[in-house]
Amino acid sequence: MLYDPKWNKPSLAGLIAWLKTMPPEQTYNFAKCDGTCLFGQYMSSIGIGWTDDMGSNSRTPYTDTLRTMGGFEVQIIASTSPFTFGAALERARSYHVAS
């Protein structure tokens, strides 16, 4: 049976692996809370879909998942400019090495 990334639980290592598959120059919109932000796309890739109320709630499956992935540091990966997948990958790698 072939490997399916949807078998993975969210993790910093999983985020790094996913970011490696993304075009490094492609941008994402950090401020857009509709599932197209960096984490919205990553979570969707592992089978955790977006629902309409996630952008307005302070406690969502994404919030809990970010906390288990590393909390504040993981949010910095997505919220720091430049907003490209390549830059996010470099930030993620630096946090992964530090942890």
pTM summary value: 0.77
Over range 46-58, report the average pLDDT: 63
User: Across residues 71-82, what is the average pLDDT?
Assistant: 84
How does pLDDT run across 22-37, given as a tens digit for each residue?
999 999 998 887 778 8
Name the residue with tokens 């430049």.
82
pLDDT value, residue 86: 98
For residue 27, list its beta bridge partners. Answer: 84
pLDDT for 56 beyond 60? no
**Within 13 Å, how many C-alpha atoms sit on residue 28's CB side?**
25
With bands split at pLDDT 50, 70 and 90, how would you rate the model's confidence at 7?
Answer: low
Rounded Cα distance, 43 and 16, in Å: 12
Give the domain ranges of the chain. Answer: 30-98
